[in-house]
Amino acid sequence: MAHKTLRTMPAGWNLRWPERDHPTGDGKRPPGPTGARRMDRQELLDQVRRIRWYHRIDLGDGIITPGVLNNFKTLSRLNLPEDLADKTVLDVGAWDGFYSFEAERRGAERVLATDSYSWSGPGWGSKAGFELARRALGSHVEDRDVDVLDLSPEEMGVFDVVLFIGVLYHMRDPLRALERIRSLTGDCLILETHVALLRKRRPAAAFYPADELNRDRSNWWGPNPLAVLGMLEAVGFREAQIVWGPHSLPYRATSAAWTKVRERRPFLRSLDNSRVVIHARV
């Protein structure tokens, strides 16, 4: 049976809104909560060292949290608008909150960070990094401990921009997760994810019953880009475009060769893996 195709946006399309003055008028971060005590540098350093970080977050005073993820590189691929003034942003799977705080820095009117697995679930992370970064930055980002499948527009509202960064392949039921995401998206979803089976010319997904992907049992699926686009269409997004990725074949070949030597993993399986960023609109 022929599969459906999702209409893509015109070449060169990207998510931009009219330029406006920054909310503070001087390009600086909005002031933090009234009465919040600013930690001195040594106190902040001591607290940073007590936490196991996933994100690298610039807390000021030359302090950048020692996260295992190079999220600054990921940010450069997202095509996130420089100006988010008057926009509401939902960050699903926020963890330490890097993307939430970045959306606030870019002027978003309201930012809600949600997580469950990394804040109170079985993952190795915790909410301590998010809470410390929010306090150190004087941030107004809201938070809610909720599972992706429990997200509800009735309880949380609908958001102009939804960020779903590095989460889809952790979902046991990715289609149902995207249904929840669609219900809260008022304008645009920015999705970044692992993809696999890049040589397949029809929608397909690799299933990881154990720790085949990065030796992490929380990784369940590796859809190819066509499968991700197909799922977005199936849950009601009107149009979508891959704005970054996958990596080029030479890049993947070099990475796959290194992975085979370092981790003794099959070359061809690694060759088919990459990442993509997709913008989808309702």
Per the rule left: phi > 0, alpha: psi between -120 and 50, beta: everything else, 85 is beta
Total-model pTM: 0.86
Class assignment of domain 41-281?
alpha beta
The answer to whether the Cα torsion of 17, 23, 27, 31 is positive or negative is negative
pLDDT in tens, 153-207: 999 999 999 999 999 999 999 999 999 999 999 999 999 999 999 999 999 999 9
pLDDT level of residue 12 (50, 70, 90 thresholds): very low
**Mean model confidence pLDDT for the chain:** 88
Instruction: Tell me 7's DSSP state.
Output: P
Are residues 50 and 63 in contact, defined by beta-carbon separation less than 8 angstroms?
Answer: no
Nearest to 101, CA basis, from 59, 146, 141: 141
pLDDT band at 36 (very low <50, low <70, confident <90, very high): low
Residue 102 near residue 108 (C-beta atoms within 8 A):
no
Q: How big is the chain, counted in residues? A: 282
- Percent of the chain at pLDDT > 70 equals 86
In this prediction, residue 37 has a pLDDT band, given cuts at 50, 70 and 90, of: low
What is the domain partition of the chain in residue ranges? 41-281
